[in-house]
């Protein structure tokens, strides 16, 4: 009996991962009720990860009031899965999207709200926390996150420091004694899809701070601050995070999570695949369908479709992708995928602008999938 695994990511701005997977599953069932279908909605650790995991794994949302990047109270949420795993998107508390352009200033913004979400999750008995780190408004090295969990930072005169990237150069001492005790018993994994170190020309400040509102002077100051931050961490905590791959993610939050909470930095899609147990589902499949909003060069650098296809290849299962659009030359796909994909398909069947494609994504996906799967199922029956 034919078994098909559907493991698609969201079509950003139009369909969630669950909607994409369910639409494709519905088409296949309409065509042949005998096909065994299993869905495994995907995410890459960025935006949409929270919704994908909570909705596909039967978790629940928990509301929380925390500080935004500038210290204003906001209501946001995180997810709790049945296995005592919490899912947090740092951008929901410390995200750049929250601030208008004239309020963006990484000298002032803080990850304090992200730390508050972590504490809330721990108080809900989380034994493991998956933290998506991306889209931040901050460049404080995770200092604010640590402050929210009771860690204290002092200057050379033993004065307690405040919040924001401007404080990094002033740090002379880190006091870990106030760290929230329950945090020590929690496993932390950060979905981190960049390899930037903490400091230097490829570090957090020089690569990302400009988009967060920093001018050239601020960038230099922030980089010097992160250098000092790493130095004090090495002296006081015995951890060297300055050149750690991924430490520069989200304004240095990646490095801060490692330094203060012993977090592991992992490629986001690998975390999602582990949590959802997709490898066991792939093993028994005859075909795997994956895809995303835009299949392009970035697909091959840690995106969901690449991760799913790599795992399927390990078990010799063919993979096709059904995408919002395919934005890469076919020759480049063949050159780069190394046999990962049997075919890559777009739901756009005629010239149209982006708004039309987004508004009609569900219908386009249904029609394209029906045509494609009708051909596939008939060819399988013919083969038999």
Cα–Cα distance for residue pair 194/253, rounded to 1 Å = 12
Residues 100, 222: one domain?
Answer: yes
231 and 119 belong to one structural domain = yes
- 34 and 57 share one domain: no
What pLDDT score does 70 carry? 98
> What's the whole-number mean pLDDT along residues 290-314?
92
Identify whether residues 24 and 97 lie together within a single domain: no
Domain count for the chain, please give it: 2
Residues 65 and 32 in one domain: no
244-248, 274-278, 340-344: segment of lowest average pLDDT: 340-344
- pLDDT, the chain, mean: 94
Q: Which domain holds residue 219?
A: 49-268
Q: Is residue 57 part of a domain?
A: yes
List the structure tokens of 46. Answer: 């960025």
Q: What is the CATH number of the domain that holds 90?
A: 3.90.1510.10
How much is the pLDDT for 94? 97
Helix axes 49-56, 268-276, angle to 10 degrees: 10
Is 349 domain-assigned? yes
Last residue of a domain, one of 268, 297, 315: 268
CA atoms of 254 and 158, how far apart (whole Å)? 27
**Separation CA 186–CA 184 (nearest Å):** 6
Residue 106's SS3 state is coil
| pLDDT band, very low/low/confident/very high, at 262 (cuts 50, 70, 90) | very high
Q: How, if at all, do strands 173-175 and 152-154 pair?
A: antiparallel
Quick one: how far is CA 114 from the chain centroid? 15
Do residues 84 and 122 touch, judged by C-beta distance below 8 A?
no
What per-residue confidence (pLDDT) applies to 240? Answer: 97
Specify whether 100 is located in the same domain as 128. Answer: yes
In a domain, 325, yes or no: yes
Q: How far, CA to CA in Å, does 63 sit from each of 15, 49, 116?
A: 23, 17, 12
Regarding whether 53 and 29 lie in a shared domain, the answer is no
Return the residue matching tokens 């909705």.
55
Asked if residue 276 is part of any domain, the answer here is: no
Which one of 268, 303, 323 terminates a domain? Answer: 268
Residue that terminates a domain, selected from 234, 268, 302: 268
Residue where the block lists tokens 């050239």: 216
- Report H helices in the chain: 17-31, 49-56, 91-94, 112-123, 143-148, 204-208, 216-237, 249-261, 268-276, 278-283, 304-314, 330-337, 354-359, 361-383
Quickly state the pLDDT bin for 193 (edges 50, 70, 90).
confident
pLDDT at 252 over 80: yes
3-state DSSP helix/strand/coil % of the chain, to nearest 5 = 45, 20, 35
Is residue 281 in some structural domain? no
- Give yes or no: residues 179 and 85 share one domain: yes
Within a domain: 280: no
Based on the fold, state whether residues 105 and 151 are members of the same structural domain. yes
Are both 301 and 224 inside the same structural domain? no
Q: Assess whether pLDDT exceeds 60 at residue 336.
A: no
Distance between CA atoms of 231 and 235, rounded to whole angstroms? 6
- Residues 102 and 246 reside in one and the same domain: yes
Residue 136 lies in a domain: yes
pLDDT of residue 333: 63
């Amino acid at each position: 009996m034919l078994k098909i695994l559907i493991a698609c990511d969201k079509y950003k701005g139009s369909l969630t991962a669950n909607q994409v997977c369910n639409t494709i599953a519905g088409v296949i069932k309409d065509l042949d009720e005998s096909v065994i279908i299993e869905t495994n909605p995907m995410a890459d650790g960025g935006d949409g990860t929270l919704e994908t995991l909570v909705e596909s794994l039967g978790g629940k949302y928990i509301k929380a009031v925390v500080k935004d990047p500038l210290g204003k109270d906001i209501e946001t949420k995180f997810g709790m899965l049945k296995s005592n795993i919490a899912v947090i998107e740092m951008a929901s508390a410390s995200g750049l999207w929250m601030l208008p352009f004239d309020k963006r200033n990484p000298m002032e913004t803080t990850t304090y709200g992200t730390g508050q979400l972590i504490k809330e999750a721990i108080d809900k008995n989380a034994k493991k926390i998956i933290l998506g780190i991306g889209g931040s408004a901050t460049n404080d090295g995770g200092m604010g996150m640590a402050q929210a969990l009771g860690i204290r930072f002092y200057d050379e005169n033993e004065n307690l420091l405040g919040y924001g990237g401007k404080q990094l150069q002033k740090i002379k001492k880190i006091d870990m004694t106030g760290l929230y005790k329950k945090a020590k018993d929690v496993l932390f994994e950060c979905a981190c899809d960049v390899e930037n170190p903490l400091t230097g020309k490829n570090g957090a400040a020089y690569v990302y701070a400009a988009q967060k509102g920093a001018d050239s002077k601020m960038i230099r100051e922030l980089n010097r601050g992160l250098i000092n931050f790493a130095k004090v961490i090495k002296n006081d905590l015995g951890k060297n995070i300055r050149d750690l791959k991924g430490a520069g993610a989200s304004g240095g939050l990646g490095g801060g999570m490692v330094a203060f909470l012993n977090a592991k930095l992992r490629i986001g899609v690998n975390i999602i695949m582990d949590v959802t147990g997709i490898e066991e589902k792939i093993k028994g499949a005859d075909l795997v369908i994956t895809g995303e909003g835009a299949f392009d060069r970035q697909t091959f650098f840690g995106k969901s479709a690449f991760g799913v296809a790599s795992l399927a290849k390990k078990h010799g299962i063919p993979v096709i992708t059904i995408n919002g659009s395919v934005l890469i030359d076919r020759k480049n796909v063949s050159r780069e995928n190394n046999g990962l994909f049997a075919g890559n398909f777009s739901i756009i069947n005629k010239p149209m602008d982006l708004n039309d494609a987004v508004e009609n994504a569900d219908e386009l996906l249904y029609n394209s999938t029906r045509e494609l799967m009708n051909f596939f199922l008939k060819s399988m029956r013919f083969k038999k």
